[in-house]
Structure 1
């Protein structure tokens, strides 16, 4: 199955099988995210969530960069409004950004960021909000907000400490320095490094492997795991009990148990009734 492009093609969504590829497609702007692109991104993510044949999602960038963060023109527009409107307009834009990042983070399917070049500012946040990150040797990561007098506003202050620890996250955010792939791998900021020419193939193969499990069990466990640090063990047990009750009634579980019992019966019959 091939999924048609969305909107004005700032986001490309393509797939042929269980893995969809979402491409940030503004290469001339290093895939910087503006208002239109953000709207297309949310529409694409909604389509992925509602398409049962898609089992996993790979996010990458067109051209030489992954995502350079927020679009400069949007920054200029934000500062050009009357002083009394700056805060409210900025708050509204933040809400839309947070909604887009939250949709990607909470997608009930495995997500992999295939980082092909620079991932800076909001672009770094987008990569971090995915379940996993695989980077080519050309990738670069930077929480560059501080260099613009800003704080990370795309979820980086939540996602980064969970990957590298609080002290290291502070250092990366407060310096805004660039991190190359091997250091990012060593810090736990990313999960794998591969060659540029095999990046998408490697990401697609990994995504296919991650998406093979029962969709319901995967979605339920992802939701619980993503909030594990915020909950007590009792909360996790309680949520797990509820999720397991749902799994018990699923078609995948019932078919799996039936196939297992059928296999046991056949093995016993082959051994003349002896227990296996």
Structure 2
């Protein structure tokens, strides 16, 4: 396919599919630009994530790319525009990049190819990352005359440790999927032809067997507790324990285990707030 730009409706910039197991797959769909990021694609991606969050059918979200790449970063055409004298950064009307960490449903990245810059950010917003063997990664920013963007200097050390994060951020070097796994940036490396099947098998397993409410609260606990002290996190953990004790999900989890049958957990209501399950009753607010 030609690398020339293709006129495509904004609604086609990210594809959206929900299977019978409740797994939603969002696919970056600018293969002629290797899924390079632009603002219309960003708006469509976040719109579809919000749709998945509100849809009771959806239990797990997979994010991947069409063609040979996941997302190699911001479209170079936009970078060229922003590099002109007098052209500043325009963030008006754009969603905060990490806001979907508040999504109450698990997110799985299926990284099928090149993953860099703002594309790497999208992968790191996901909870679990699968990568195709041979996929290439880079933070890229210093090689474009940029500092660490979108809070990557905060996020990366918490994933791979301080020295590894500084190595990747300072050098902007390219590394492959196997090194990404060794660093802890991805958890699974599979052959390219098996990537999406492997990610979907994992997603379908947790969609079938795990409580949507429990997964929403666990995700909320993990990200929320990153910046809490031990005692604060412990109090919220006790609150979550109290919330689920005797709940329909807990009863179903126990009964399905003792009866040796698959569980039948209800879908996540659109108005479910995991904060309610973790609020420490001894703290104000």
Q: What is the TM-score when the length of structure 1 is the normalising length?
A: 0.83
C-alpha deviations, 1:176-206, integer Å up to 9, x for none? 0011111111111111110111100000011
Change (3 A) 1:145 1:241: same
For 1:183-198, list aligned pairs within 5 A: 183-198=179-194
- Which of these residues, 213, 220, 224, is aligned with residue 210 of structure 2? 213
For 1:117-132, list aligned pairs within 5 A: 117-132=113-128
Matches of 1:13 and 1:162, distance apart in 2:
31
Change (3 A) 1:174 1:261: closer
For 1:42-191, list aligned pairs within 5 A: 42-80=46-84, 83=86, 86=88, 90=89, 92=91, 96=94, 99-103=96-100, 105-191=101-187
Specify the alignment match of 1:15 in structure 2.
18
The structure that is helix-richer by fraction is 1
Specify the alignment match of 1:24 in structure 2.
28
Would you identify which runs of 4 or more consecutive aligned residues in structure 1 move more than 6 Å? 258-263
Larger Rg: 1
Specify the alignment match of 1:269 in structure 2.
none
Change (3 A) 1:227 1:167: farther
C-alpha deviations, 1:139-187, integer Å up to 9, x for none? 1110001101112323422332122101110110000001111111111
Change (3 A) 1:201 1:229: same
Q: CA deviation at 1:54?
A: 1.2
2:200 is the alignment partner of 1:200: no
2:131/2:195 contact within 8 Å kept: yes
**Structure 1: gaps spanning 5 or more residues:** 1-5, 264-276
1:27/1:62 contact within 8 Å kept: yes
Matches of 2:28 and 2:247, distance apart in 1:
35
Number of residues of Structure 1 aligned to a counterpart in Structure 2:
250
Greater RCO (Cα-Cα under 8 Å, separation 6 or more): 2
1:112/1:131 contact within 8 Å kept: yes
Q: Which moved more, 1:140-149 or 1:64-73?
A: 64-73
The secondary structure found in structure 2 opposite 1:230 is: coil
Specify the alignment match of 2:272 in structure 1.
none
